[in-house]
Structure formats: structure tokens, C-alpha cells
Structure 1
Amino acid sequence: MATKGPIVEQIVRHPGGFPVVGIIGGGQLARMCQPPAVGLSLTLAVLAQAPDAAAALVVPASPVGPYDDVDTVREFARQCDVVTFDHEHVPPEVLAALEADGVPLHPRPSALRFAQDKLAMRERLGDLVDCPRWRRVDSLEELTELGTEVGFPVVLKTPRGGYDGKGVRVVDSPDAVPDCADWFERAAGDGLLAEEAVDFTREIAVLVARSPSGQAAAWPVVETVQTGGICTEVIAPAPDLDDTLASRVTEAALRIAGELDVTGVMAVELFQVDRDGEPGYVVNELAMRPHNSGHWTIDGSVTSQFEQHLRAVLDLPLGDTRARAPWTVMGNVLGGAEPRHAELYGTYRHLLARDPGLKMHLYGKEVRPGRKIGHVTVCGDDLAELRDRAAHAAGYLEGTIIE
């Protein structure tokens, strides 16, 4: 557990009255906030879970301590002017303690709960935007009832903690329902989210930012490509997206941010659907933080999502969200075979020489098969060429491409 001494000693303020932004959680999102923090003359402080956490490798003020320990987090927050989050997993009791201390939190716990709890999200969003048909289910019988009502397959989700396909299960038929018994046992009476499996044409996402004073901004709607439940590619803007649908999706995201009083960056993940020949949407998930679908903005937008998040939580004027090029393609780098990653720096050097226009962002994370360890970005005029370049670089880093 972190102690008072190390936390106080590590957080040194920038001269001139510039604020300290504290981030709870030392993952790659906090890591990618460091460059724009330097550009904005801010001091970034990160409560990291380990000395070798992704953010701790690049942020000087990175005291180590558990994000779920009230005393540790309170002591960390006392040194910060505002506090934000690398992830949605900070427990309610910790958030309540910080609120009681008068710590400015962004997003506020009253908004963050809708990203932490999918059941709360579905209930609230149902009044605002189009969502899948859903129900809280507490038994196998209730799961069968929903499947009978909306048609199998149905999607079963844990309300808290799921990401990158974790905590999600597709139930193909009534015969598969008994196989879900262990999920209800682990839920321990808290209930699960069950919803229709949406027949969609593709997955899209829109990123918005909102400040405490109510200023808001949005980036272009993007297409996200999923492989095995993990996002492997993002194309900005989404190709061939109907202008009317793009406007509707963006307006819906801004409406969600306003109605939920979100502060900071928020990602809205959606399914694009075909309704009687007309394009439509269904909201899938929310994330109230910089998000994987917005990593393209580091190299492809005038203002990155990470700079914008810092601006928003400090109630600074928001930056320009226009794209720098007609197309930007981001490819996620997943952990692969260990021999390739033992010499990752050599692989990195090879790609820099092969494609001088390529931008690589590696997170300093321990490599595990299938784990996101970085991303690559390319910008330009030829979408097909950009997709090939991004796919080659990501595959070469992963080890699935060897030349």
C-alpha cells in the first residue's frame, strides 16, 4: 500500500500555478495522457498498481497503490486539483469518500455509474436513444423467457467488469441455456444483462468530449472492426457512412453526454442496422474515458482524445476535432508468440525503416497472447493502401506476418 510520504514526495507541481491532474489507474490510457500534459504545461500524477505499470514507465509522479483502497486513494487525491480515471473499476465506496472530501471528479460518480453498470446503462439509455431489447435476468428460466420473446440467439453479459469480449456470452438456442448456470452462480443474486443479438451491418463508434461548463465537441464517426470480440482496426471516418446517419449518431452521443452530465471524453459504441432499407443505429456500450476507438486521434486529429480529456476535466476551452487527413487507419497490436516479442525493439526498428510514415505506440505492457500491447496508425488519401499498411505493421509486431 502506498504511504503518505512517497505520494507527497513524488508529486511536484509545475511552476506558475498550473494544476495537477490525477489519474487513478496506471494503464496505457494514463500513459498516453503524458505527452499532451507536457504540451499543456500540466503536471500529471498517476496512482499506479505497480512500479512497472504502463503509465509509471513514463509519468514521473506515479506512486504505487491499490485503486480500491479508500485511504490510499484519498491521500493521492489530496495532492491533485482534479481526479479522473484510467478505467471504470474504482469501487463506489472509494468514489463516495473522494466526493465527501470535496475532490473534483471527472466524470462524476453519478455519471460514471452508467459506464460501470450495464444494467443501469440500459435502463437509463432506453429513454434517450435506440437500444437492443433487453432484460435483467436472475435465473435460467428468465433467460429462456427473453430468448423466446426476442428470438435466439441472445447475448448474456455481466453488468460489471467486462471488456474486449470478456463477460459476454452468446446463447445460441434454448438448449444452450442450462450451460449458463455458472454465470448465475457467480452473479450471486446481482442479476445479469440479457439482450437480443442485433442483426447489424457493421460496428461504428463516436467519441465526444464535454466540459463541466457544458461545452461539447465530437470527432468524426468511425468504423470499428472486431476479431474474436477484440477491436483490431479502426477506420476514420467510417467509409460510406450516410451523412444523415452520421449526424443522428453524433447528436445521440452529445445528447447522452448532456443528459448524463458526463465530463471528459466519452465513447459510444453502436451497431449500424438496416431498417426497411434505411440506415439506423442501436447503442451497444458506453465508456467514460479515452477509448480504443479514439486512439487514431493522436496522429489523425488536430486535437487528440487524450489532450481533449485533459482540457475537459480542467474546464479549459476544448480543442479542434477535425481530421488531419482524408483517412486515418488504426490497427491494434496484440500479443503473440514470445520469441518475436523478446526482440520487440528490433521488430520496431524494422517497421520504422520499412514505412517512414507509420506511427507506432507501444504501451510497455507485459506481453500475453491476445492482449493489446500497442497500436499503429497511418494517415493519407488511399484507404485501401492505408489498411494494408496498418494490417502489415500490426501483424508483423504480433508475429503473424514474418516479412
Structure 2
Amino acid sequence: MTLRVGVVGGGQLARMMIAPAVELGVELRVLAEAEGMSAALAATAVGDYRDAATVLAFARDVDVLTFDHEHVPQEVLRELVDAGVAVHPGPDALRFAQDKLVMRRRLAELGMPQPDWAAVSGVDELQAFLDAHGGRAVVKTPRGGYDGKGVRVVSSAVEAEDWFAALAEDARGGELLVEELVDFSRELAQQVARRPSGEIAVYPVVETVQRDGVCAEVLAPAPHAAARLSEVAAGIGTAIAEGLGVTGMLAVELFETTDERLLVNELAMRPHNSGHWTQDGAVTSQFEQHLRAALDLPLGDTAPSAPWAVMVNILGGPAEDSLTQRFAAAMADYPGAKVHTYGKAPRPGRKVGHVNVVGDDLDDVAYRARAAASLFLD
């Protein structure tokens, strides 16, 4: 009997699960938010992921349910579990990816290294934190932020007054998260996969390059990562996956500080931008691994398939009518470059695809990945 995996969300992550699902002999079904989304090839339903009846109806015909994003409300997730649906990751784990304050509190209980932080409910509390941390800090909305959204670096509490006002009008109320402005030398990401039976597979730690709050490049494995750093990053990822009960892919975003410590920045419980390099640079891609983990199948080999892999995001993108010509140019000039497009209309700053290049020399690999990606930019 063919196993059926349902994915809530029709974005590019669901799109990139299609090919490995075919290879695994798995039937992939997608609940898309609208017609014509990235994963339209596998979209078997269109509907509101916030509506329990819609998601329950979709989930009736699948063996396991997983996600393209972490935004399905907790009450919907609980109804799915109560109805006997196998949900991976489950609501008890996903809540830590849905609310940054809940995450920070749980990571503190687990003894994970974090930036200094506090929950603040007004300008006075925020100002007190600023005064105690050199006059500048990072303020985040606990729910809903990604790719730089819902994040501000502030030097005065009044710079977050509008967010406090919005919280006051929200029936749920709540607090903002404030964190110290970490003096870091670079950003890293550690990915692990965990299946319901407890098996864990760990990928090499990678370096991520951010521009304007959006991931622009990933270097895999992280250059100049001593064995000790790699072991610490892997230990943090494993401890979080086990401590939070994650099933599926987990990405742990990390700061490497100037005094060579690692601090947990944020979490994602799904395939993640920092793992796109695995499509062409690892024995098992994060997308295949996520499906294996959700289905509780033996996990795949996470070893790199070449000494170096570099992923460069295509941000903005070309006019759709020139896409074929851009592909032809990239294939002619950089035959080793693998281009992955998301089926999205171009828009300034929007992730519309990425390029992977693998090889023996990091400088050469990075040059070719950047050059191939630049051919898709106007």
C-alpha cells in the first residue's frame, strides 16, 4: 500500500518535497492556501489552514500530516490529534516554534545557551532592559515573524510603542521579547532530523550569510569550524530535538560569538533555508529526510557528497517571460550549477529560487554559485 503524506501549506518547501516523495514511492498531497502556489503540482485541496474542519477533511485521507510552515493554530493541531491524525511535528513541539517567548523559557529549562533576554509588557520594562544592556537591544514579536519581519534593533523603548499598543488591542494580550544585541562573529545553523521512534540524524553545521534579515547564502560545512565547535553545535541540536519532542526536520539558528561561544537564536521545525544545500550537496536531502522522519522510516545518511557546497538565494528574480533564457545562460556558463525555482512571481526581496554548487575548492564553488544566481537578477 502506498503511504500518503499530507502537507499543510503550498509554498516552496512543500514543492521541494515532491521529487523525494516520488523517489520514496510516497504519495504527496498538499493543502494549499490558494490556487497557483509553489506546490501546485501536488495540491489536492485549497483551503484555510486556520479552519479546523478544512484541515480535518484534508487529513482524513493521509497516513501522516506535516507542514510547509509553523502557522497552523494550536487549537486546530489539537483537534487533529484528538481525531487520531498522526501529526509530525506535533502541537506540543510546534508551540516552541510558534511563540518565541515560550521557546526561550523552555530552552532555559533545558539549559541551552541563549542571549540574555526578557519578556516585557511596556516601555518602562523595555527601557530598564536597554539601560542594563548598553542602550541597544533586539525586540521581537513573539508570534508570526520570519525573514526579518517582527524584529527591530532599538536604542529607545519608544521605538516599540506601536507594538505595545497593538498588544493592548489584542484580546490575547501578551508581551514582547527583548534580547541582548549579541556581539557575534558569524551566524551558523545546525540541522537535525528526529523520527517518532527516537532515531536522530545530524547534518554538518553550516554558516549562513544574512542580508536585510533574509538568508542570502549558506556555506556547507561551515568554514573554519573546529571539531569542538561542530560537536557543540550537534549537541545543541540533538538536545533541543529530544527536549522539545521534535519529529521531522529541526533547524537551530545559532550565533557564534566573538569569544567563541554558541548561542541559540531561533528554531524552525520543518525543512529550512539553511538546509537547501543538501539537495545537491548531501547523500540525503533535508526534504527526503523530513518525509522519512514524519513517516517514522529509517533516516538517511547526512554526509556531504562533496567537500564544499554553497547555496545562494535568488531574491527578487527576473520577469517570468525571460526565465527560460536565464536558465539557458546559467546552464551554458555554469554547467555544474543546480538551479531550483519556486514558481513564484518576481518581487523585490522575494525568495524565488536558489542555486547550489558543490566542489573541492570553496572559493571556486562560492564564485560559481553567486555568478549563476546573478544571471536571474534584473
The answer for the alignment partner of 1:350 in structure 2 is 329
Q: Which amino acid aligns with 2:145?
A: G
Contact kept, 8 Å, 2:320 with 2:345, in 1: the verdict is no
Moved more, 372-381 or 179-188: 179-188
* TM-score, length-scaled by structure 1: 0.91
Distance 2:62 2:96 in 1: 25
Equivalent residue runs for 1:77-92 within 5 Å: 77-92=59-74
Equivalent residue runs for 1:2-401 within 5 Å: 17-56=1-40, 58-59=41-42, 61-128=43-110, 129-171=112-154, 173=155, 176-188=156-168, 189-275=173-259, 279-336=260-317, 340-399=319-378
Distance 2:329 2:320 in 1: 13
**How far off its partner does 1:342 sit?**
3.8
For the residue of structure 2 that corresponds to 1:90, the secondary structure is: coil
The unaligned stretches of length 5 or more in structure 2 are none
**How far off its partner does 1:341 sit?**
4.4
Moved over 3 A (4+): none
Distance 2:186 2:375 in 1: 26
Question: Taking every aligned residue pair, what percent have the same amino acid on both sides?
Answer: 55
How many pairs does the alignment contain? 373
Distance 2:367 2:243 in 1: 40
Deviations 1:166-217 (A, max 9, x none): 000000x2xx321321111122331110010100000000110000000000
| Distance 1:263-1:151 versus aligned 2 partners, 3 A rule | same
**How far off its partner does 1:395 sit?**
1.9
Deviations 1:36-63 (A, max 9, x none): 000000000000011201001x21x521
Moved more, 369-378 or 90-99: 90-99
For the residue of structure 2 that corresponds to 1:310, the secondary structure is: helix
Q: Which amino acid aligns with 1:253?
A: G
Q: Which amino acid aligns with 1:147?
A: L
**TM-align CA RMSD:** 1.1
Q: Which amino acid aligns with 1:94?
A: V
Distance 1:91 1:398 in 2: 36
Distance 1:366 1:187 in 2: 33
Distance 1:179 1:226 in 2: 23
* TM-score, length-scaled by structure 2: 0.97
For the residue of structure 1 that corresponds to 2:265, the secondary structure is: strand
